[in-house]
Amino acid sequence: MLNGHELWYLDTGDGPAVMFIHGLTSTHRNWDHLVEKLRIDHRVLAPDLFGHGASAKSMGDYSLGAHAAILRDLLDQLGIDKVTLVGHSFGGGIAMQFVYLFPERVERLVLVASGGLGRDVSPLLRAATLPGAGWVLPFIASGWVKGRGEAAGRTLARTGWEASPDVTEIWRGFMSLGDADTRRAFLATTRSVIDPGGQTVTAHDRLPRAIELPTLVVWGTRDRMIPAWHATTAHGLIENSKVVLFEGAGHFPHLDKPERFAEVLRDFLEED
């Protein structure tokens, strides 16, 4: 329990603390392969954000600042003073907000296909902010659609087609919206950072002042959710940053190329 609500989190390993922050409609399971590799010599934390996975999906504030404050409270509860933050997509926006609010608590920062670095974002997410989206989503995430989608996937698999991590994760995320509480939390979260024109919350005015720590930016060159050129924007704004582009990877570079991502992350964590 945290602040009166159920917050599920993984806490394993021993050593310098690393916290993984997943994106919209994802869960801590996004980081499973990295947890296993890092727990040997790091204390690894991987929460399900409120509104996601096994954590509470109550009415409330789902803004970046609210999520960042909850993660700070989690660190306080666990007695952890400083942490390396690894944030993917929406989780990257939370990580940057955390640095802005609690800079003394962050050792290093890793942004993976992060939100908050430009207006551009997939029409799929912009559509979730339109009036009436709450009426359409129950159909999109219904058992009827799920059954036909899975049948189509099996048919394609027989032809040799293999779903990419982007397709798999986006499908899994949208299917989670069949639950009414999850759907309500998703709409509240999305509308806190996106409108029909794109992302509404930007780190541009805060990054130069707030981020003075080693930062790694990782992006897939074929990201169709948030364009890869946002990595260049991040590099220009964050003085002590390094950008690594994964050629051919999509919005989930840590799943597209898991071994390479693990190597890049570990090298970054071990830098002086």
122 is catalytic: no
124 CB-contact burial (10 Å; exposed 0-12 / middle 13-18 / buried 19+): exposed
Q: Do 94 and 68 contact (CB within 8 A), yes or no?
A: yes
| DSSP secondary structure code for residue 139 in this structure | H
Identify the three-state secondary structure at position 55: coil
Catalytic residue of the set 52, 223, 230, 241: 223
**Gap between the Cα atoms of 126 and 60, Å rounded:** 21
Instruction: Kindly name the residue from 22, 28, 42, 251 that is annotated as catalytic.
Output: 251
Q: Is 62 helix (H, G, I), strand (E, B) or coil?
A: coil
Q: How many Cα neighbours within 13 Å face the side chain of 9?
A: 25
Q: Could you confirm whether 176 is annotated as catalytic?
A: no
Active-site pick, 26, 55, 89, 241: 89
Residue 142 appears among annotated catalytic residues: no
Buried b (16+ CB within 10 A) or exposed e, 131-164: eebeeebeeebeeeeeeeeeeeeeeeeeeeeeeb
* Residues designated catalytic: 89, 223, 251
